[in-house]
């Protein structure tokens, strides 16, 4: 099978490079689910999308978005056919593994001020020490105002970080299993070391609080109602001597979220309504009111249907039953450093296009959405018609491990759903790697699906 690189026309190669540079910049500026939604809405409004709550009726070609609490975004381009005949849906998640601050984070010990943390999602804890981190998020105050915090990414900012033990003194540590080499309670972030002169006790902590008060108007109590995330500092970068790849924080799953979002922005007046779902909380089970299990999506679709004059539960259920979806979430890229986990016949390779994953899950496919063969055949036809490169993948060899996506949640609404994602190396590491060719092909796949799936 030829790689995408060998099939590209000169015009496509140019478009690929422009697209990937736009993605690189967006990813670098969207390191939390909140920032992704904020930057996503900004891009959507530029592309003519309006808040669906501001419209009184919908007609073919209308471009609408629905924002759920700043952490979950749905985009729609209304089709020529009525909504109850079904939508073409692409859906991805915009949360990524990271290290969150605890509700009471700040303390002083032995002359140093630290922030206590609780990690989010499946991380190898030892990967997050001794590297520059940024502090990003919101502090919500009792007066109803929200303070945006972003320290460590702007030029001239200080960075924060978590210490590691020197190898000279790590004989005992190095004998521990990987899961406990660095323990959860050792992931505390060093933030200060200068004592405040006028104070008696906790002088370093008080000096840090003074800085927070001056720069952000935050009191210590305000941490109680905050969502602050430690994320890797620094921009996403071109990767490889040939610059064929991108290294960045949060490709899982912002690479699929961005390409899906760009694909729906390409839609003008599709036959079937196009929909793009961008959800939070996938990395911890799609829970909560901004995760895929939330009633939000169901409610938005019901309201859009009502704007087309249909309010019966039968019509609502018909929308979902007649919809088709690509659950766009990253897949595993074959890694020559770790060939033993993959079956090369059934795994994703860099540069070979979008990965379709018929089933995810673990052991005997437990927890999988298993896409119907009939639906997979239709998807193959749409891809071939649009000359999109794709590969059929499993996450790994049988019984090596497993994972899940949001696919099964939408399938529960009786949609046809297929997992379709971009292959990633070093998934869930502070910096993950993707092939630019696959980013571009992912975008072309989602565009073809929204346009031509029937
Ligand atoms: Mn994912
Ligand atoms: Mn993940």
DSSP SS3 for 444? helix
What is the Å distance from ligand 1's center to 362 Cα? 15
The b/e string for 250-275 (b: 16+ C-beta within 10 A; e otherwise) is bbbbbbbbbbbbbbbbbbeebebbbb
pLDDT tens-place string over residues 246-292: 999 999 999 999 999 999 999 999 999 999 999 999 999 999 999 99
Token pair, residue 80, equals 């020529």
Is 1 a residue whose pLDDT tops 80? no
Give per-residue pLDDT as tens, 145-178.
Answer: 999 999 999 999 999 999 999 999 999 999 999 9
Residue linked to tokens 């895929």: 292
Q: Is the peptide bond before 58 cis (omega within 30 degrees of 0)?
A: no
Which ligand minimizes its atom distance to the CA of 331? 1
- What is the rounded CA–CA span in Å between residue 138 and residue 149? 6
Q: What is the pLDDT of residues 387-409, one digit of tens each?
A: 999 999 999 999 999 888 999 99
Average pLDDT over residues 315-333: 97
Q: Side by side, which strands form the sheet with 390-392?
A: 50-51, 63-68, 72-77, 273-279, 87-93, 324-327, 416-421, 354-357, 390-392
CB-CB neighbours of 35 under 10 Å: 20
Gap from CA of 256 to ligand 2 centroid (Å): 12
Residue 352 CA to ligand 2 centre (angstroms): 21
- Whether the per-residue pLDDT at 78 is higher than 90: the answer is yes
Q: How confident is the model at residue 293 (pLDDT cuts 50, 70, 90)?
A: very high
**Distance between CA atoms of 322 and 407, rounded to whole angstroms?**
16
Whether residue 225 contacts residue 408, with contact meaning beta carbons closer than 8 Å, is answered with no
Q: Residue 451 has which token pair? A: 């346009």
Closest CA to 292 of 427, 445, 98, 95: 95
371 C-alpha to ligand 1 centroid (Å): 18
Residues with CB under 5 A from ligand 2 (ion): 252
- Ligand of minimum distance to the alpha carbon of 427: 2
Q: How far is the CA of 424 from the centre of ligand 2 (A)?
A: 10
CB 264 within 8 A of CB 274: yes
Ligand 2 centroid to Cα of residue 343, in Å, is 21
- What's the distance, CA 254 to chain centroid? 4
- The Å distance, Cα 429 to ligand 2 centre, comes to 10
Cα 402 to middle of ligand 2, angstroms:
11
How remote is the CA of residue 93 from the centroid of ligand 1, in Å? 7
CA distance 333 to 389: 15
Tokens of 41: 């809405």
Summarize pLDDT for 51-74 with one digit per residue, the tens. Answer: 999 999 999 999 999 999 999 999
Confidence check: pLDDT of 447 > 90: yes
CA 232 / ligand 2 centre spacing (Å): 16
Neighbours of 68 (CB within 10 A): 20
pLDDT for 19-51, tens place per residue?
Answer: 999 999 999 999 999 999 999 999 999 999 999
| Domains along the sequence of the chain with CATH | 4-96+249-452 (3.40.630.10), 99-232 (2.30.250.10)
Contact 450, 270 (CB under 8 A): yes
pLDDT number for residue 199: 84
Distances in whole angstroms, Cα of residue 363 to Cα of each of 169, 261, 423? 40, 33, 21
Residue 403 is predicted with a pLDDT of 87
CA of 96 to the centre of ligand 2 (A): 7
């Amino acid at each position: 099978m030829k790689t995408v690189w060998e099939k590209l026309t000169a015009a496509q190669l140019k478009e690929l490079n422009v697209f990937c540079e736009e993605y690189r910049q967006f990813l670098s500026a969207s390191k939390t689910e909140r920032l992704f939604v904020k930057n996503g809405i900004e891009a959507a409004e530029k592309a003519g999308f309006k808040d669906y709550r501001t419209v009184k009726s919908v007609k073919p070609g209308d471009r609408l978005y629905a924002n759920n609490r700043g952490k979950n975004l749905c985009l729609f381009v209304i089709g020529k056919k009525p909504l109850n005949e079904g939508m073409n849906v692409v859906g991805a998640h915009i949360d990524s593994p990271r290290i969150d601050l605890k509700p009471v984070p700040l303390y002083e010990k032995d002359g140093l001020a630290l922030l206590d943390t609780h990690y989010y999602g499946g991380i190898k804890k030892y990967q997050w020490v001794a590297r520059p981190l940024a502090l990003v998020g919101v502090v919500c105050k009792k007066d109803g105002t929200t303070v945006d915090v972003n320290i460590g990414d702007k030029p001239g900012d200080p960075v924060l970080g978590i210490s590691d033990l020197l190898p000279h003194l790590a004989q005992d540590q190095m004998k521990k299993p990987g899961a406990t080499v660095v323990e959860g309670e050792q992931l505390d972030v060093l933030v200060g070391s200068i004592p405040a002169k006028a104070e008696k006790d906790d002088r370093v902590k008080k000096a840090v609080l003074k800085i927070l008060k001056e720069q952000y108007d935050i009191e210590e109590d305000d941490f109680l109602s905050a969502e602050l995330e430690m994320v890797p500092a620094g921009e996403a970068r071109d990767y490889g001597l040939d610059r064929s790849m991108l290294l960045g924080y949060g490709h899982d799953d912002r690479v699929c979220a961005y390409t899906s979002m760009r694909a729906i922005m390409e839609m003008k007046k599709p036959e079937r309504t196009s929909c793009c779902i961008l959800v939070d909380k996938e990395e911890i089970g799609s829970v909560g009111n901004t995760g895929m299990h939330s009633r939000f999506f169901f409610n938005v679709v019901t309201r859009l249907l009502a704007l087309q004059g249909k309010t019966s539960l039968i019509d609502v259920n018909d929308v979902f039953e007649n919809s088709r979806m690509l659950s766009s979430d990253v897949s595993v890229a074959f890694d020559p450093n770790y060939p033993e986990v993959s079956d090369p016949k059934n795994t994703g390779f860099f540069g070979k296009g979008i990965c379709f994953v018929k089933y995810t899950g673990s052991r005997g496919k437990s927890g999988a959405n298993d896409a119907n063969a009939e639906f997979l055949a239709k998807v193959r036809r749409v891809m071939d018609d649009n000359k999109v490169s794709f590969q059929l993948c499993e996450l790994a060899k049988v019984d090596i491990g497993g994972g899940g996506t949001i696919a099964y949640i939408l399938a529960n609404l009786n949609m046809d759903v297929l997992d379709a994602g971009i292959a990633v190396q070093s998934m869930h590491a502070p910096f993950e790697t993707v092939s630019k060719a696959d980013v571009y092909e992912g975008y072309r796949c989602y565009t073809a699906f929204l346009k031509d799936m029937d």
